Every structure is written in C-alpha cells, then in structure tokens.
Amino acid sequence: AVSPDEIDFGERYVESPIDTNLYIRNVGEVVLRVTNIESTNPDAFTTNFAVGFVVGVGEEHAVRVTFLPDSNIQYNGQLEIESNSFEDELRSIELSGSAIPTPPMIEVTATEFDFYRRNRGHESIWNLTITNDGWEYLIIDSIVTDNETFTFEFEGPDTLFKKESLPGEVVFFPEEYEE
C-alpha cells in the first residue's frame, strides 16, 4: 500500500522547494522489494530514492518527495514505483503543484556598518548595494537615514527587476568629534 495515493503540493513560490513523505507499506505476506522509483517530471518532482530497498511484512518505508517549481506554471507528473508486489508491479502516484511569482525581496549587502571614530569635517564612505532577490518588481520610493550625519544619495523612485541591483554610497560626515 502507498500513502498518500496522490500528492498535491498546492501553490508555491517559484524556486521555493517543499517536501513531503510518501509511505510504502508492506501489507502482503512476503518481503516487498522496491527496485525503482522514478518521476515522469524530474525537473519539478524529485525523490531521495537512490537504490532499491526492502520492506518487511507489516513495515513501512518513507520516501521524501520534493516539489521545486522553476517557472510560474501548473506542474503535473507521476511517481512510478517498481516492486515485486503481486497486485501492482508498477504503481503510479499522481503529482501536482503550481508556482506563483516570488514577491519582491530586498537584499542589502550588510545591515550595519561601523564607521569608527572620525574627526569633524572628515567623511567616511560605505558602499551599499540593494538587490531584488524576488521575481516581482521591487519599487524603492525613498531611502532615508535617521541621523543627519549620514546621507545616501538617491533620486527615486527606482524599480529593480529580478536580480537587479542598485549600488550606492552611505556617507558619514560628522560635524563634531565622534567617540
């Protein structure tokens, strides 16, 4: 027996994997030998199956099934399980799932930087890069600091597409000696 008899992974973000277990139970009276497990759509659905295995009478064996969509589409496939089962030498499990675009995800080269001590009137520069790691557009309306001794030159708004970056400089210009 195989449980579940179909796997629907539902909606997932593009390039966001999800795993679940498929359980193969031996409800027969002799040892069950599973010789192969193969996906009909290996670009989207994979397993941790490497070599054949044996399932004793009354026992079960878990196989991890992974769905990893790479495009914004509906995916379907089957897992084909080959064994010495008297009733089902080749058992098929239906697989399905769909992908939705990953929302914009802002990635910054670092979230903090220590400018150390600086004398009044001497500036220090930190090179900062903002990247969109998502699939949807990232719209940056403004970049502000909470302290006038730090500035970031930005003439927005700006739109970053997938994997696009916005380089910039944070300038530290103390008007007084900083401890």
pLDDT tens figures, 15-54: 899 999 999 999 989 999 999 999 999 999 999 999 999 9
Q: From 69, 15, 13, select the one nearest 44 (Cα to Cα).
A: 69
The residue-averaged pLDDT of 126-145 equals 87
> Cβ distance 68 to 102 under 8 Å?
no
pLDDT of 125: 85
pLDDT of 88: 76
Whether residue 177 is predicted with pLDDT greater than 80 in this model: the reply is no
Average pLDDT, the chain: 88
H/E run at residue 120: none
pTM: 0.66
The residue-averaged pLDDT of 136-147 equals 86
> Rounded to whole angstroms, what are the CA distances from 121 to 31, 145, 178?
81, 19, 11
Polymer length in residues for the chain: 179
Whether residue 170 is predicted with pLDDT greater than 60 in this model: the reply is yes
Task: Tell the burial category of 146 from Cβ atoms under 10 Å away from its Cβ (0-12, 13-18, 19+).
Answer: exposed
pLDDT of 51: 92
- Of the chain, the percentage scoring pLDDT greater than 70 comes to 94
DSSP state string for 35-73? EEEEES-TTTEEE---S-EEE-TT-EEEEEEEE---SSS
Q: Which comes out higher in pLDDT, residue 64 or 127?
A: 64
pLDDT tens figures, 75-112: 999 999 999 987 778 899 999 999 998 888 889 888 78
